[in-house]
Structure 1
Amino acid sequence: MNKQQAALLNGIALAYIGDGVYEVFVRDYLLSKGLTKPAQLQKHATQFVSAKAQAKIFAAMEALGFLTEEELNYFKRGRNAHSKTTAKNTDVVTYRISTGFEAVIGILHLTHQEERLQELWEFCVKVIENPTPEEK
């Protein structure tokens, strides 16, 4: 898919692919840490893939001005998209932020911005693996 085609996708479609790409990053990371037991993998994966975790990552990105203006536009497209899916274990606002986060990953993947995608992933790891004192 070229950049023009990817740019025409709606926020839900971008989030759909972004969710899958992010899940692979998380799974690769957990296996590289030596985690192999299903219960461990599930517990640790949730720290990354839950809507609350993704909203936390986005808040850190926003606070540091990590995302480009273009990435923020795709975030807003995902966040503002009307999904027929309802939030599980979280409020609607957190769920929508999570959808926007996944849309950013989706557009980076579809437009083959692998270096930027890697930077984003490394940022995610830092946020999740280094909780603030209030979170401990």
Structure 2
Amino acid sequence: MFEDVIGSMRRDFDIKPKDVMNLHPLVLAYIGDAVYEVYIRTMLIINKRTNVNMLHKMSVKYVNAKAQSDIVHRISDMLTQDEQDVVRRGRNAKSATAPKHAEITDYRYSTGYEALIGYLYLTNSTDRLMEILELSVEEE
């Protein structure tokens, strides 16, 4: 279901994979953050039928720098070389803002994770995107 929506939405825009690699990693993270947030919200409303306040509190468990940093460390061995490069570029990107509620290291790895999600979304790698998203929410 989610992959159909994401795939359909992405197909409406024409961007070539080589052009995606030329985007600044913070641009990839920008779109990746949105895709990940929609995935988490969708998962929660389907699996946890509750009020909006509780849904928000549950989503924070997944959508924060520490959680996303932990995901990158947990799945790094499963990433292709290109995916690892995207994470590295995102992690090393210089941001004009500093994290308010996170360690700088977690914030950087989180940016790398979001860049990966953005990269997979923009390259229309829907199957791989879904695989990474599903791995991301697996309990250890």
TM-superposed CA distance for 1:2, in Å, is: 1.1
Equivalent in 19, 22, 31 of residue 8 of structure 1: 22
TM-superposed CA distance for 1:66, in Å, is: 1.1
Q: State whether structure 2 residue 40 is matched by structure 1 residue 26.
A: yes
The ranges of structure 1 where at least 4 consecutive aligned residues each deviate by more than 4 angstroms after the TM superposition are none
Match of 2:71 in 1: 57
TM-superposed CA distance for 1:23, in Å, is: 0.5
Match of 1:44 in 2: 58
TM-superposed CA distance for 1:42, in Å, is: 1.1
TM-score (norm 2): 0.86
TM-superposed CA distance for 1:59, in Å, is: 1.2
TM-superposed CA distance for 1:46, in Å, is: 0.6
TM-score (norm 1): 0.89
RMSD: 1.0
TM-superposed CA distance for 1:35, in Å, is: 3.0
Structure 1, unpaired ranges of 5+: 132-136
Structure 2, unpaired ranges of 5+: 1-14
Bigger CA drift: 2-11 or 35-44?
35-44
Counterpart Cα distance in 1 of 2:97 and 2:34:
16
Match of 2:49 in 1: 35
What's the CA shift string for 1:7-38, capped at 9, x where partnerless?
Answer: 10011000000000101100110011133412
Bigger CA drift: 17-26 or 36-45?
36-45
TM-superposed CA distance for 1:91, in Å, is: 1.0
SS in 2 for 1:49: coil
Counterpart Cα distance in 1 of 2:115 and 2:25:
6
Q: Among the aligned pairs, what percent are the same residue?
A: 40
Matched letter for residue 86 of structure 1: A
Matched letter for residue 105 of structure 1: I
